[in-house]
């Protein structure tokens, strides 16, 4: 199949490679330099998103934020320029795997549908590790028949793939995911900081907790990052901060209160204020450490 992929960053590049390695012809466009792996592959680089959409039957989008998706779809040289005139038997499918506003997603889907193409929102969870291992969780919103058409492609990139509902529901699920992840990172950070400040060895505390009801993937992976101080970005604080902004924006629109989410968003803002927002989101613990004037790794 001729497939397009727009956005080849930390996540997008390995995801695109899985499609190439499965034998699909890939047409790509990205603002950054191509990774050596993508550059060495049979993927063909296109001058803009419009060329990608003109040459591909299915177009994947993996860019940072809502305005970026809007620009890729509807800006100058955007996907929309190659959608007019498709007959019923040649409907292209646009699959947005970015993490963006659910409200904007519904509007984007309507505009794409009006141009004679189909739209699936399919944000992911699993970070760079999941992208490289093709083990991403993929949360989808859109028409069930269209979803089934692209499921084989999604299965090349992820393992837990769920059609949640209509357009926008995939993005809503991703926002919910980001709330849970952020609160868990903060909880692990507070627990290990408490243990370290009390004089216990945080590594041994983590080992003990891994065998109990407090065990979690966050404690396993990010707890280790906090102790070893390995904050190279798999998923940057500034991107998670953006996602929590979507959660709080949605809460205002829905008239609900998300007090714990608001608190973690402030911790991320503290990280950003201290120049830490390009670190991995496990570095959220640095905000807690600054408040305590104590680092977890200093316990021993």
So which residues are the catalytic ones?
174
Are the CB atoms for 58 and 150 separated by under 8 Å? yes
> What does DSSP assign to residue 188?
H
Backbone region of residue 60 per phi and psi (left: phi > 0; alpha: psi in -120 to 50; beta: other values): beta
What the block records as the tokens of 124 is 């992911």
Phi, then psi, of 211 in degrees rounded to 5: -95, 5
Are the CB atoms for 289 and 229 separated by under 8 Å? no
What the block records as the tokens of 269 is 């803002």
Could you give the CA distance from residue 100 to residue 65 in angstroms, rounded to a whole number? 6
Are the CB atoms for 298 and 281 separated by under 8 Å? no
Adjacent-strand bridge partners of 3? 26, 58
Could you give the CA distance from residue 10 to residue 185 in angstroms, rounded to a whole number? 21
Q: If we measure between CA atoms, which residue out of 264, 224, 263 comes closest to residue 240?
A: 264
Q: If we measure between CA atoms, which residue out of 96, 86, 93 comes closest to residue 124?
A: 96
Helix, strand or coil, per DSSP, at residue 136: strand
């Amino acid at each position: 199949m001729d497939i397009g992929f727009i956005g080849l960053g930390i996540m997008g590049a390995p995801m695109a490679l899985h499609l190439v390695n499965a034998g699909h012809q890939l047409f790509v466009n990205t603002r950054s330099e191509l990774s050596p792996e993508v550059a060495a592959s049979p993927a063909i680089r296109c001058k803009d998103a419009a060329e990608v959409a003109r040459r591909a039957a299915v177009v994947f989008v993996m860019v940072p934020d809502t305005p970026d998706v809007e620009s890729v779809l509807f800006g100058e040289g955007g996907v929309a320029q190659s959608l007019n005139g498709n007959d019923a038997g040649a409907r292209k499918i646009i699959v947005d795997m970015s993490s963006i506003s659910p409200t904007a997603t519904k509007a984007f889907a309507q505009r794409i549908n009006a141009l004679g193409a189909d739209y699936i929102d399919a944000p992911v969870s699993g970070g760079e590790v999941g992208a490289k291992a093709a083990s991403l969780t993929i949360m989808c919103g859109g028409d069930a028949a269209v979803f089934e058409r692209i499921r084989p492609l999604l299965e090349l990139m992820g393992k837990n793939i769920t059609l949640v509902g209509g357009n926008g529901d995939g993005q809503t699920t991703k926002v919910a995911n980001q709330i849970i992840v952020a609160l868990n990172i903060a909880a692990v950070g507070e627990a290990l900081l408490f243990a370290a400040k009390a004089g216990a060895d945080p590594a041994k505390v983590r080992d003990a907790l891994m065998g109990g009801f407090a065990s979690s993937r966050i404690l396993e992976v990010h707890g280790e990052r906090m102790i070893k101080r390995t904050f190279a970005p798999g998923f940057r604080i500034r991107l998670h901060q953006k996602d929590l902004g979507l959660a709080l924006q949605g809460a205002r629109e829905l008239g609900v209160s998300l007090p714990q989410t608001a608190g973690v968003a402030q911790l991320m803002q503290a990280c950003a204020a201290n120049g830490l927002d390009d670190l991995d989101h496990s570095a959220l613990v640095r905000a807690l450490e600054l408040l305590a004037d104590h680092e977890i790794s200093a316990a021993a």
